[in-house]
Amino acid sequence: MLPFVDLQTQYSRLQAEMEEAVLAVLRGGKYIMGPEVAELETQLSDFVGVGQCITCASGTDALVMALMAKGVGRGDAVFTTPFTFVATAEAIATVGATPVFVDIDAATFNIDPAKLDEAIGRSKKNGAANPRAIIAVDLFGLPADYQAINAIAARESLLVIEDAAQSFGATAGNRRAGALAEIGCTSFFPAKPLGCYGDGGAIFTDDAGTADLLRSIRVHGQGADKYENVRLGITGRLDTIQAAILLVKLRAFEREIEERQRVAAGYAEAIRTAGISLQTPAVPEGLTSAWAQYSVLADSSAERERMMAQLAAADVPSAIYYPKPLHLQQAFAYLGYRAGDFPISEDAASRIFALPMHPYLDEPTIATIVGALRG
């Protein structure tokens, strides 16, 4: 079977530096908040172009901590997409706020700003929960429409959090993902564009006050010293070993992001020339994707099944992100949504599937994969 994400090739290219970096942490003995963590935060904030970076234990913790720092909780409505990984809405519910789902744009799979506007209006009228924040997700690596989202948020005095778990390395105009809203959250889960060898995440903001709160929340709400607890927090730190790993991977990252552009362009061209009936990803003017996933839309569920079976027969893995939108998941049944509430998300869930995507896919392999799609 071909790898879906080729972490082994990446490791073999970085092996010497990687092993040296990890050994240095083991020998140095500063396993929690060692010097590599501070160094990584400096390098990440420079890379993203924001004043403050707070690393943390996962992308999920990044979202939870951001909501906690902003005091979002019980009685607050947080608008987000139902077509995302569960963590986005889970974080909202974890802090006691109410996820309010908004359907996606059919071309980008990201939250539809016009529908967001309508949902905020409806929420204000029915008064069930107080509109407080928006978490936009950069699905599959493509930034959401922050120009429109930030304008709506400014008008309505709402906080915007960018869920950049999948988009680290993407751009919108001259800004990087993670810097596209008031707070940006990302994940370093191994399969992400920038991944460590365990769980990890980071939060980005230009607001020094918010950054101080996040640093306190990351260590159980600590005050001036460790045993002064001024608020509630979590064990939210990134391990020093993971920071050391990320410092090595960051050196190769810009190149890898370029390689991902090559692979995405190669797929689009090969699918088009082969005349295969599939909707390939749209990248709106002014944006670039980090290509966490290369997701395509088949003409029907049956066509998806057929193509995925052909791929499997040729030892090519594929995956469905996401087969069931969040409003139909049992965990969110208490919100009272029904099938049919978000038709674009439901339709995408029924036809979408993802092809192998990583920086080390060469042209002959892309041709093999597309050949298998054609059958």
Binding residues (CB under 6 A) for ligand PLP: these are 58-60, 84-85, 87-88, 137, 163, 165-166, 187, 189, 199, 201
β-pair partners for 202: 55, 186
Minimum distance from residue 345 beta carbon to ligand PLP (Å): 14
CA angle 177, 207, 161 (to 5 degrees): 45
Q: What residue type is assigned to position 135 of the chain?
A: I
State in angstroms the smallest separation of the CB of 138 from ligand PLP. 8
Q: How far apart, in whole angstroms, are the C-alpha atoms of residue 368 and residue 316?
A: 9
Residue 269 CA to residue 190 CA, distance in Å, equals 28
CA 288 distance to own-chain centroid:
14
By the 8 A CB rule, do 359 and 260 touch?
A: yes
> Which residue number, 348 or 370, has a Cβ lying nearer to ligand PLP?
348
Of the two residues 68 and 165, which places its CB atom closer to ligand PLP in the complex? Answer: 165
Contact call for residues 63 and 57 (beta carbons, < 8 A): no
Closest contact distance (angstroms) between CB of 60 and ligand PLP is: 3
Q: Of 100 and 137, which has the nearer Cβ to ligand PLP? A: 137
- Least distance (Å) from ligand PLP to the CB of residue 200? 7
With b for 16 or more beta-carbon neighbours within 10 A and e for fewer, the 42-77 pattern comes to: ebbbebbebebbbbbbbbbbbbbbbbbbbebeeebb
Instruction: Tell me the C-alpha distance between 316 and 92, whole Å.
Output: 36
Phi, psi for residue 61 in degrees, rounded to 5: -60, -35
Work out how close the CB of 63 gets to ligand PLP at its nearest, in angstroms, rounded to a whole number.
6
Angle in degrees, 0-180, between the axes of helices 343-351 and 301-313, rounded to the nearest 10: 30
Q: Which is nearer to ligand PLP, 59 or 233 (CB)?
A: 59
Whichever of 283 and 366 has its CB closer to ligand PLP, that residue is: 283
Which pair of structure tokens corresponds to residue 254? 């810009």
Residue least distant from ligand PLP (Cβ): 59
Q: Are strands 201-205 and 171-172 parallel, antiparallel or unpaired?
A: unpaired
- Rounded to the nearest whole angstrom, what is the least distance from the CB of residue 201 to ligand PLP in the complex? 5
- Give the nearer residue to ligand PLP in terms of CB position, either 218 or 373: 218
Distance of CA 184 to the CA centre of its chain: 10
Task: Give Cα separations from 185 to 11, 47, 57 (angstroms).
Answer: 25, 14, 12
Which CB, 50 or 87, lies closer to ligand PLP?
A: 87
Considering beta carbons, is residue 187 or 318 the nearer one to ligand PLP?
187
Spatial CB neighbours of 145, under 8 Å, sequence gap ≥ 6: 105, 108, 110, 111, 113, 284
Min. distance of Cβ 235 from ligand PLP in angstroms? 14
Q: What is the rounded CA–CA span in Å between residue 250 and residue 263?
A: 20
- If you search the block for the tokens 């709400």, which residue do you land on? 221
Helix (H, G, I), strand (E, B) or coil at 100: strand
Shortest spacing between CB 87 and ligand PLP, in angstroms? 4
Type of residue at 74: R
Quote the least distance from Cβ 88 to ligand PLP, whole Å. Answer: 5
Rank residues 253 and 372 by Cβ distance to ligand PLP and give the closer one. 253
